[in-house]
Amino acid sequence: MSTESASRLYLTSPAGPAVVETTDAGVETAVAEGLPEQARQAVRSLVPLPQRPQGLTAVEGEAAWEGDVVADWDQAAQEVAWSVVGHPARSSSLQSFGDDLAAAWADHAASLAAAGPVVDRLRGLAPTGLDPAEAVVTWDPQTRQARMDVNLPAWAGPDGTAPGVRVSLTTSEGQDEDVVVRIEGDGHPQGTSMTPDQAREVVAQAVRDATSTPADVARRALEPAMETLASLPGMGGIAVEDPVLLEDGSLSVQLHPSWDGPSTETAVTLTAPGDGGPVTVRAGGPLTAALRSGQASPDRLAEDAWVTGVSPDLATQPDPTRISDARAAALVLGVPQASLTQAVDTLSVGLETARQAAWDAAQGARPAATQRFRHQQAHGA
C-alpha cells in the first residue's frame, strides 16, 4: 500500500485504488473498489469509536496510512486483506471477514477506552511548562502501553549552550507503580524502572539539565553556600550577585552591602580559577588596589571616599599596605573579620563545587538524571 495524499489511498492490488471515506458512524475507511459488497457492508456497519483521551497525541501505527480501517480484495486467494489502525494486517475469508473485523474493532475500541487513565497518569509525570509538541504521548493498542516522548533540542544562550535531551516514559494498563524511563545516551537503552513519584523527579531533573547552560548549573550548585552565607552572623546585610562563568572556566561571585548597588570599589569578588587553584579574594577595585599597594594617597582617598567609592574604613587604616586580603574585604563590606572569614570559607567550597559542575556541564560530562537515580538507589545517597 502507498499513500498519495491525505485524502486518497491506493492499494497495490488488482482490486484497484481506494478512496478514503468516512462512514455514517465517523469511521475513516480505505476500501478497494473491487472489494465484494458483503465485505463493504461489514466495514460500513462498524460502530463509532470512543472519544480519544485528552492528552493522547497519536495511536501507534496510524501515521502509516490514512484511515481507521483498510480493506483490500485478494482475487487469487479469494480473501479480504485488511487491518485496523495500530494492529497487524490480517487476511480473512469473505465468510468470516465480518465477524473477524467486528471482533478486532471491539478490541480496538476497548483499548482506546482503557488508554484514558494510562495517558493521564503519564501526562501527570511531565514537568509543567512543556509545549505539547515537546511531550508527545502515543498509545499502542496491541500492548496497551502509553509512551511519552520528550524532545528538547539543544540551544545556545548568552552564557553558554543548553544541551537538550530526549526522554521517553513508558507505562502500561494496570501498572500503577511501574514507569520505565529512558534517557538517550545514558548507557541503559532498555530504560530504568521506577515509581511514578521517582519518575516525576527524574524527568524534572532531566528537563532542568537539558534547558540549563553551564552558568545556570553553576548558579544552582552555589545555592546551598549562598543560603549558609545569609545565616552567618554579621552577613545579613550583604547582597550576593549571580556567579559569573568566564571563558577560561573560572567562576566569580561578587558581594556588596545591600544598601549599595554593586560597584567596583564597594564590592568583594571571590574567584575559583579554572585550573582548580585556590579561591582568590579581591577587595574593591583598581583604586582600592592602588591604595593597598602604596600607589595612591590614603589621605586623599579618605577625603574623596564619597566620590571614589573607596572604603573610608580602609583608607584611614594606619598602613593599608600591610592589611591582608581578608581584612581588606571585611573593611570594604563593613562586616566583622570573623564573619568575613566564615563567609570566604563557605563560598570557597561552594564556588569550587559550582565551578566543577559548570565545567562538567560544558564538557557534556554531567551524568544523566537516570544515572544519578541508579547511583542513589545503589549507594543510598
- The pLDDT tens digits for 299-328 are 665 556 544 667 777 777 888 888 889 898
Say how many domains are in the chain: 3
Residue 174 pLDDT > 80, yes or no? no
Q: pLDDT averaged over the chain? A: 85
- Whether 321 and 341 map to the same domain: the answer is yes
Distances (CA, A) of 136 to 133, 149, 218, 281: 6, 5, 31, 49
Residue 8 pLDDT > 60, yes or no? no
Q: Can you say how many angstroms the Cα of residue 138 is from the centroid of all Cα atoms in its chain? A: 19
Q: Pick the last residue of a domain from 88, 114, 140.
A: 114
- Whether 41 and 100 map to the same domain: the answer is yes
Which triple of cell numbers denotes residue 263?
560597584
10 vs 271, which has greater pLDDT? Answer: 271
Q: Pick the last residue of a domain from 172, 195, 211.
A: 211
Range of the domain at 8: 2-114
Q: How far apart are CA 290 and CA 293, in angstroms?
A: 5
Of 76, 59, 60, 67, the closest CA to residue 43 belongs to 67
Whether 121 is in a domain gets the answer no
Say how many C-beta atoms besides its own lie within 10 A of residue 214's C-beta: 25
Q: Please, what is the angle between helix 196-210 and helix 369-379, to 10°?
A: 130
Give the residue-averaged pLDDT of 178-188: 90
270 vs 295, which has greater pLDDT? Answer: 270
Distances (CA, A) of 62 to 131, 223, 303: 22, 47, 80
101 vs 186, which has greater pLDDT? Answer: 101
**Cβ(245)–Cβ(251) under 8 Å?**
yes
- Whether 242 and 196 map to the same domain: the answer is no
111 vs 365, which has greater pLDDT? Answer: 111
pLDDT recorded at residue 158: 79
Q: How far apart are CA 323 and CA 331, in angstroms?
A: 10
pLDDT recorded at residue 381: 55
Q: What is the pTM of this model?
A: 0.74
**Cβ(126)–Cβ(111) under 8 Å?**
no
566543577: which residue's cell? 356
Q: How far apart are CA 146 and CA 199, in angstroms?
A: 15
Q: How far apart are CA 54 and CA 271, in angstroms?
A: 51
Say how many C-beta atoms besides its own lie within 10 A of residue 189's C-beta: 9
Residue 41 pLDDT > 90, yes or no? yes
Whether 376 is in a domain gets the answer no
Give the residue-averaged pLDDT of 249-277: 85
pLDDT recorded at residue 182: 94
Query: Which of the four pLDDT bands, split at 50, 70 and 90, describes residue 10?
Result: very low
95 vs 52, which has greater pLDDT? Answer: 95
- Whether 17 and 84 map to the same domain: the answer is yes
485496523: which residue's cell? 84
Whether 374 is in a domain gets the answer no
Return phi, psi of residue 351, to 5°. -65, -40
Whether 245 is in a domain gets the answer yes
Lowest-confidence pick of 240-249, 272-281, 309-318? 309-318
- Whether 182 and 220 map to the same domain: the answer is no
The distance in angstroms from the start CA to the end CA of the chain is: 55
Query: Which of the four pLDDT bands, split at 50, 70 and 90, describes residue 262?
Result: low
- Whether 28 and 66 map to the same domain: the answer is yes
- Whether 170 and 280 map to the same domain: the answer is no
Of 284, 288, 257, 290, the closest CA to residue 268 belongs to 284
Give the residue-averaged pLDDT of 212-237: 91
- Whether 306 and 242 map to the same domain: the answer is yes
Beta bridge partners of 152: 165
Residue 7 pLDDT > 50, yes or no? no
pLDDT recorded at residue 298: 65
Rounded (5°) CA angle 63-155-191: 55
pLDDT recorded at residue 307: 46
- Whether 33 and 109 map to the same domain: the answer is yes
267 vs 262, which has greater pLDDT? Answer: 267
What percent of the chain is predicted at pLDDT more than 90? 45
Lowest-confidence pick of 78-82, 322-326, 342-346? 322-326
Q: How far apart are CA 210 and CA 189, in angstroms?
A: 18
Of 47, 37, 51, 54, the closest CA to residue 69 belongs to 47
- Whether 93 and 159 map to the same domain: the answer is no
- Whether 56 and 186 map to the same domain: the answer is no
pLDDT recorded at residue 305: 54
